[in-house]
Amino acid sequence: MKILLIEDDKNLCEMLCFQLEKEHHTVEICMDGRDGLDLVLQDAYDLILLDRMLPTMNGLLVLQKARSKGISTPVIMITALGELYDRVEGLDCGADDYLVKPFAYEELSARIRSIGRRNHVYDDNNRFSYADITYDSRLRELTGPKGGIQLSGREGRLLEIFLQNPSMILQRLVLLSRVWGADAPVEESNLDTYIHFVRKRLQQVGSHATIETVRGIGYRIK
């Protein structure tokens, strides 16, 4: 998963980043509320870990503004405010889960897996399934009716995003942000190249699934 961590505690950021990357997540860190909101609105992440007390803009306001703009990315709030009222307020503002500091990393990891299953992102083995294919994100292995093949990092990441959003039309800018990064200096033609690669990989494993072009908008798997 591509995770955005919005947290102003540097030590906690370093610890969480280390642990999350060990579990093969990609992590981007932001330590400021307003900057965090700008990143959230790019809709380039699979999950957001959001502190409640942040410089320039508190986490609840970041969450409210994001939800009002139609951002549906799952959010886990991580905060020292653990009273019942605080938890209810966070969930009512649009959080998918609420974790009180201090917490054991194992609990956060379990909650991330739970949200992944709830949103059909992955199972406990980081396998994604759709139609007649299965993709293992740890091994970067795509399996279909004619066998298996290993994908490159970018091919795998692109396919993973489609499998997380089956039949949904994904805009070109969203795909560019999620695969290459929100601020990466990448040309749009690179996306077309990797779409071609993924289509070829699907054919190689004998799948009936394909990446369809939706003219003027983007692509979807069907």
pLDDT in tens, 98-107: 888 888 899 9
Task: Indicate whether 18 pLDDT > 60.
Answer: yes
In DSSP terms, 2 is beta-bridged to: 26
Structure pTM? 0.61
Q: Is 71 in the same domain as 143?
A: no
Surface-to-core class of residue 107, CB atoms within 10 Å of its CB (0-12 exposed, 13-18 middle, 19+ buried): exposed
- What are the φ/ψ torsions at residue 32 (nearest 5 degrees)? -140, 140
Say if residues 158 and 219 touch (Cβ distance below 8 Å).
no
* Residue 12 or residue 139, greater confidence: 12
Asked if 92 and 18 sit in the same domain, the reply is yes
CATH code where residue 153 lies? 1.10.10.10
pLDDT computed for residue 61 by the predictor: 93
- Choose the final residue of a domain: 66, 94, 119: 119
Same domain, 114 and 17: yes
Domain match, 75 and 37 both: yes
Note whether 11 and 106 are same-domain residues.
yes
- Domain range enclosing 62: 2-119
Please write the tens of the pLDDT for every residue from 68-111: 988 888 999 998 886 788 888 888 888 888 888 888 899 998 88
End-to-end CA distance of the chain: 22
Number of structural domains (the chain) is: 2
